[in-house]
Structure 1
Amino acid sequence: MALITISGYPSSGKSRRASQIKAHLETRLADQSYDGPKLKVSVISDDTLDVGRDAYGDSKSEKPARGALFTAMQRQMGQDTILIVDGLNYIKGFRYQMYCAAREHKLRVCTVYVVATHDLCREWNSTRTDDRAYKTETLENLLVRFEEPSSMVRWDSPLFIILWEEEDVPADEIWKAITAGNVKAPHAGTQVVEKAPMDALHTLEHTTTSIVSSIMTSQASSSLGGPTILAISATLKLNITLPARNITLSELQRYKRQFVTVHKKAITLGSTEKGTVDWDEENVAKKFVDYLEERMKP
């Protein structure tokens, strides 16, 4: 349904804002006037994943921490869920990665930037007594490295900025963004590609070989050129129009190699054509016959 990305300095009050947003959304969903689909609101964070603040002390431990958050996010994404990701999310490349995952699942998105001054973050971090405080060196490093969200880039938009002095979140605007905002379709970089079946390569090679053999057999037993019926297998026969000349085996083998090379790439990488590509014997045979008719000249 939707992904809400929380971003902000360490110890800036992000979890408080995430809780406020969750409470507002659940109230609206429970209201009698709400007549939309049944939805649940979920929050994931370092705390829910048991990722300690010391994970951000160096790059070696920080990378798997971000990976755990991203994996949990992907696992909970769905059309029945409003997912709030409560984390630092301070690297724009990581926010872009989250945005791409949301597009792949056809979710609406928005970003909430929780703003507090450096001094306030230091103060609030020093007063924590729940074992969730950052070490001073780690805190200072994260403050310097923070990459601020921007409404000018698509992966941070729509962007809602909440200052430390504000009592509540812009619930109406967030609600509108996640229930009435545009759903951006997946593009080639994020779209799940349909893979070919396991026996596609065998079918491709076997079918094209059978067609080459059938053409050579037909040519040896009948007059040259014109409409010809190819017996590709016991159950499959196709029509082909052959040129009025002798077609050599080397010529057919060349066309076969070209055809197989192109379609091997499609099988390996997934469909490269519009729509679904069928890899059964009949469809492969029809494609190869069309390919030959286009290339064999009189």
Structure 2
Amino acid sequence: MCGIPCSGKTTRATEIKTYFEEEHKKDVVLINEETLGFDKNEYYKDGSTEKIIRASLKSEVERNLDSETIVIIDSLNYIKGYRYELYCLARSAKTTLTNIYCETDPEEAEKWNSERDQSVAFSDELFHDYKGRLEIPNPAQRWDCPCIMLRPYEDTPLEQVEKAVISGKLPRAPVSNKHEENLETNYIYELDKKCSLVNDFIIVKQQEFNEGDTISAAEMTGSTKLLTLHKIYSPIELKNMKKEFINLSKLHPPKEKDNFADQYIAFIDSNYEQEDDY
């Protein structure tokens, strides 16, 4: 599920869960902040605590995910990089994945939020913060495809959801399951070296350029991809980002080492929101 706060995600998720359980006798696991015992207003108030929620949701998905169980992750899922991580989990489990985007007018969602029980509603401050953060799913991206868009007062297209989940296409097999002849066995060392060059480049250049500037990293890293300085990164932030990228790359190795710097810069571009100040 994906959408701004109080856009109808839980209502739709519960309806889908009931449909698969009653009509298809499937095992369905519904995962959200409430089922894990998290107070959303407590854990979404800043970046460090939000990461705890995202990590816990992802861990619970991974624990339950297999080719027979239907897992519904009923949360904001507003960051495209996080949706990519969920896509990788589905791909590793060799099961289908479907994005259901609840497109709701923010004013209407705010009204619904004000009418909810305060134990599950977002505070006004958090609602206004998170309603503007959504990175709308893009069906052109493999991790957002297929994407079913739902608007308020439309019936949930249960048969369409069924088709996507039961008989939909499986994500492409993980690259890690295929031996790439042109990938050297010491690629982690090469990857680490390239990522370190990119990090060193950022540390140097962010002292010379302003936030939002786009510059070429080719001189120092050999990358052909332009780098946008979205924010000022601390060395610790860059070190953690490199570690996360390398861990993902161990599961899904890049095909060509010449592209390591390009891929790392693309990773920074697509995930910088997760490191942003709240």
- TM-score normalised over the length of structure 2: 0.62
Contact 1:104/1:185, CA 8 A, preserved across alignment: no
- Please state whether the residue corresponding to 2:98 is helix, strand or coil: strand
Percent identity for Structure 1 against Structure 2: 32
- Give the Cα–Cα distance (whole angstroms) in 2 for the partners of residues 114 and 173 of structure 1: 15
**Aligned-pair Cα RMSD in Å:** 2.1
Return the offset for 1:130: 4.4
Show CA shifts across 1:82-127 (max 9, x none).
1111110010100000001110010111110012111011111111
Q: Give the structure 2 partner of residue 179 of structure 1.
A: 166
Q: Which of the two has higher C-alpha Rg?
A: 1
Give 1:57 shift: 1.3
Q: How does 1:3-18 map to 2 (within 5 A)?
A: 6-18=1-13
Q: Which residue of 2 aligns with 1:62?
A: 50
Q: Which amino acid aligns with 1:42?
A: V
Distance 1:143 1:63 in 2: 18
More divergent stretch after superposition (120-129 vs 65-74): 120-129
Question: What SS class does the counterpart of residue 78 from structure 2 fall into?
Answer: coil
Pairing of 1:162-177 with structure 2 (within 5 A):
162-166=150-154, 168-177=155-164
> Which residue number corresponds to residue 27 of structure 1?
22
Q: Which has the higher strand share?
A: 1
Instruction: Give 3-state SS (helix, strand or coil) of 1:109's partner.
Output: coil
**Where does structure 1 lack aligned partners over 5 or more consecutive residues?**
1-5, 31-38, 194-268, 273-298
Gaps of 5+ in 2: 180-249, 254-278
Change (3 A) 1:185 1:171: same
The answer to whether residue 38 in structure 2 is matched with residue 51 in structure 1 is yes
Distance 2:78 2:142 in 1: 16
Q: Is the 8 A contact 1:110 1:157 kept in 2?
A: yes
Letter in 2 for 1:9: I
The separation in 1 between residues aligned to 2:21 and 2:132, in whole angstroms, is: 35
Match of 1:132 in 2: 120
Give the residue type in structure 2 aligned to 1:183.
L
AA paired with 2:150?
I
| 1:275 alignment counterpart | none
List structure 1 runs of 4+ shifted beyond 6 angstroms: none
What is the DSSP-based 3-state SS (H/G/I as helix, E as strand, rest coil) of the residue aligned with 2:60? helix
3-state SS of 1:7 partner: coil
8 Å contact from structure 2 (residues 13, 72) kept in 1: yes
- Give the total of aligned pairs: 181
The yes-or-no answer on 1:85 pairing with 2:80 is: no
Q: Is the 8 A contact 2:38 2:53 kept in 1?
A: yes
Q: Does 1:109 align with 2:104?
A: no
Matched with 1:152 is 140
Question: What letter corresponds to residue 19 of structure 1 in structure 2?
Answer: T
Distance in 2 separating the partners of 1:91 and 1:139? 16
**Deviation string, structure 1 residues 222-269 (Cα, Å, up to 9, x no partner):** xxxxxxxxxxxxxxxxxxxxxxxxxxxxxxxxxxxxxxxxxxxxxxx8
Deviation of 1:186 (Å): 2.7
Residues 141 and 158 (structure 1 numbering): CA distance in 2 closer, same or farther, change over 3 Å?
A: same
